[in-house]
Amino acid sequence: MNSEILHQTIIVLLQQIAPDTVPATLKLEENIRETLNIDSFDFLQFVILLHEKTGVEIPEEDYGKINTIQNAITYIQNKSL
Amino acid sequence: MIEFQMPSLGADMEDGTLIEWKKKPGDVVKRGDIIAEVDTQKGLIEIEVFDEGTIAELLIQEGTKVPVGTKMALIQPSTIEAEKPIELHPIMEKISEPIIEEKTDTISIKASPLAKKMAQENHIDLSKIIGTGPDGAITKEDIDASIKQSETAETEKISTPSEAIRMAVAAAMSKSNREIPHYYLEKKIDMTKALAWLQEANKQRTVANRLLPVVLFIKAMAKSLKEVPDLNAVWENGLLQKTEINIGFVVSLRNGGIIVPAIPQSDTKNADEIMTALNDLIPRARALKLRSSELSSSTITLTNLGDAGADTVFGIIYPPQVAIVGLGNITEQPFAENGMLGIRSLANVTLAGDHRATDGLTGSRFLSSLDKNLQNPEAL
C-alpha cells in the first residue's frame, strides 16, 4: 500500500471511530490522540480497524510508534515488507 | 393494577418527552422489555419496564412532555385475574368546568378543578397566570397555553444535544455541590504488576479482544466494594447499601459534557465480559442511545480522566451515590521500596466520599483494598 492510499485509509478509519472530529485536517506530524482528543478506548478501535484493513498486527508495546499519521504510515509500510 | 411512571434517570432529570410507545394495550410485557422511547437531556432513551403483566392502558400521548413520576401506563399484573382497566383521561376529556374559588392568606385565585390539577401536575404557579374564563377564572385552555409557552421557551434555550447535556451535567453537579459534604483521599498505587499481567494476557488475545488497563481497575474496584460495601450505596435520608455492584463509567463526549452508563453487576463479570460491556456501552453513550436502566442503576462512579493525561482527578459525587473514584494517568516514576529505588508504573487514585454517609477511615480502607487487589491481578 503506497503512502497516499495509506494516508487516506488512516483518515477514513479515524473518521469512523471519532465521527465528530475532522481527521482530514490532521497534519502528518501531529499527535493523533492529543489533537483529535481520542482516548484509549477509541485508540484501541483504531488499532483494530488498522489491523483489519492492512493485515498488520500492532502489539501494545508499539502503540507509541503509530502516534502520528506519518509514523503510522512508516510503521505499516515497514511491517508489510 | 401496576402504575408505570416516568422514571428518573438521574438527579438532574426533571422530565422527558414521550416520543414513541413500543407497546400497545393488550401486549404482554416482562422485566427488561422496552416500553417506550423518551427524549431526555441525555438523548433518546429506551425506557424499560420492571414488572410483568399485560398493558392495560397507555395514559400519555406521544409527543407529550412528562414530569418524572407521572403515571404513563397501567399494567395488569400477570398473576392477578384481569380486571377492567381504569378509565383515566383527565387531560384529553372535554368536560364542562365548574369554577371554584380558592382563598389563600394573601390572594384569591379562581380556577377550574381541571386547571388546578393540570397546574399541579406541570408545576405551574397559578398566581402567575391571567385567567380568561368567567370572572377571570383560570381554565384548562389557560394552562395549555402556559405549558406551550414554557416548552417553546425551553426549546429556544436548549437547541443542541451538547447544550442539553451541559445543562444536565450542570444540574447534577450543582445539586451535588449544594447537598453533599465531600471528603477527598488520594493514594499512589503501583500498577506495574497489573500492567505486566495485562500485557501477557493481551498477547494471548486477538487484536479485537485486547483488554484496556481500566478493565482490571474496574475488576479491582468491584472486589474492594465487596470488602467495603458502605461505598456501594446511595444516600436517601440515610445510608442505603446496594446489593448489586453497578459501576458507573464516565464517558466524555467530544463536543463537551459527560454521560455515565452503568456496568451492571461488575463484580460477577470477568475481565473479558467487562471489556465487552465497555465495547457496547461507550459507543452507545457517545451516540446518546442508552437504556433507562443503564443511566439510573449506577451504585458508584469511576472517572478515568487520567486517560486524557491528568495526573490526579478529584471527582464530584453523582447523587444519590455516596462515592466517586478517580484514576489518574499511569506514568513511570521513581519508587522506593524496601530501601531500594526503582522505576514503577504509578497512578494517583482518588476517592471522593459523602461525609454524611461515610468517614475518611472507610474511604481509606477502600483505597488500601484497591491497592492490595491490584497487586494480585491474577486473582481478579
Per-position pLDDT tens, chain B of length 380: 889 999 888 777 888 889 889 999 999 999 889 999 888 877 788 899 888 999 999 999 888 888 888 999 999 998 644 444 444 344 443 444 444 444 444 446 778 888 888 888 887 878 778 888 877 888 888 888 888 777 665 555 555 777 888 888 998 999 999 999 999 999 999 999 999 999 999 999 999 999 999 999 999 999 999 999 999 999 999 999 999 999 999 999 988 899 999 999 999 999 999 999 999 999 999 988 999 999 999 999 999 998 888 999 999 999 999 999 999 999 999 999 899 999 999 999 999 999 999 999 999 999 999 999 999 999 98
Q: Are the C-beta atoms of B66 and B15 separated by less than 8 Å? A: yes
Give the whole-angstrom CA distance, residue B229 versus residue B366. 9
CA neighbor of B76 nearest in space, from B53, B50, B48:
B53
pLDDT at B154: 53
Give the whole-angstrom CA distance, residue B194 versus residue B218. 12
Best residue in B254, B302, B327 to probe A by mutation, most A CBs within 10 Å? B254
Cell of B301: 462512579
- Say if A32 is an interface residue toward chain B (CB within 8 Å): no
Chain B partners of A18 at a C-beta cutoff of 8 Å? 254
The answer to whether residue A47 scores a pLDDT higher than 80 is yes
Q: How confident is the model at residue A65 (pLDDT cuts 50, 70, 90)?
A: very high
Cβ of A48 within 8 Å of Cβ of B278? The answer is no
| Beta pairing partners, A25 | none
| Beta pairing partners, B53 | B29, B77
pLDDT at B370: 98
Same fold, B1-87 and B94-158: no
pLDDT at B152: 63
B126 CB neighbour count, 10 Å cutoff? 19
pLDDT at B159: 58
Query: Distance, in angstroms, between B279 CA and closest chain A CA?
Result: 8
Q: Are the C-beta atoms of B346 and B375 separated by less than 8 Å? A: no
Give the whole-angstrom CA distance, residue B343 versus residue B346. 9
pLDDT at B266: 97
Alpha carbons within 13 angstroms on the beta-carbon side of residue B51 total 18
Chain A partners of B213 at a C-beta cutoff of 8 Å? 40
CA neighbor of B363 nearest in space, from B187, B217, B214, B180:
B187
pLDDT at B141: 84
Element (H, E) at B337: strand B331-337
Cβ of B254 within 8 Å of Cβ of A51? The answer is no
Strands lying side by side in the sheet with B71-77: B2-5, B71-77, B53-58, B28-29
Q: Where are the domains of chain B?
A: 1-87, 94-158, 162-379
Nearest neighbour of B254 by CB, restricted to A21, A44, A48: A21
Torsions phi, psi for B77 (to 5 deg) = -60, 145
pLDDT at B137: 83
Complete DSSP assignment for A3-54: HHHHHHHHHHHHHHH-TTS-GGG--TTSBHHHHHT--HHHHHHHHHHHHHHH
Judge: domain B162-379, CATH 3.30.559.10. yes
CA of B326: how far to CAs of B35, B102, B180, B218, in Å?
35, 53, 17, 11
CA torsion sign for B278, B279, B281, B286 is: positive
CATH number given to B1-87: 2.40.50.100
ipTM of predicted complex: 0.89
Query: Distance, in angstroms, between B119 CA and closest chain A CA?
Result: 41
Residue B4 burial class via C-beta count within 10 angstroms: exposed 0-12, middle 13-18, buried 19 and up: buried
Cβ of A44 within 8 Å of Cβ of B210? The answer is yes
B94-158: CATH superfamily? E3-binding domain (4.10.320.10)
pLDDT at B191: 97
- CA geometry: angle B291, B294, B295, nearest 5 deg: 95
pLDDT at B79: 66
Chain A partners of B278 at a C-beta cutoff of 8 Å? 41
Q: Are the C-beta atoms of B307 and B329 separated by less than 8 Å? A: yes
- Say if A40 is an interface residue toward chain B (CB within 8 Å): yes
How many residue contacts between A and B have a Cβ separation below 8 Å? 32
Q: Are the C-beta atoms of B88 and B61 separated by less than 8 Å? A: no
In chain A the first and final C-alpha atoms are separated, in Å, by 10
pLDDT at B95: 41
- Any long-range contacts for B16-21 (C-beta under 8 Å, 24+ apart)? B16/B40, B16/B45, B16/B65, B16/B66, B16/B68, B17/B63, B17/B64, B17/B65, B17/B66, B18/B60, B18/B61, B18/B62, B18/B63, B18/B64, B18/B66, B18/B72, B19/B44, B19/B62, B19/B63, B20/B62, B21/B58, B21/B62
Chain B interface with A: residues with Cβ < 8 Å: 199, 202-203, 207-208, 210, 212-214, 252, 254-255, 278, 282, 307-309
Best residue in B197, B207, B330 to probe A by mutation, most A CBs within 10 Å? B207
Chain B partners of A47 at a C-beta cutoff of 8 Å? 207, 210
- Say if A62 is an interface residue toward chain B (CB within 8 Å): no
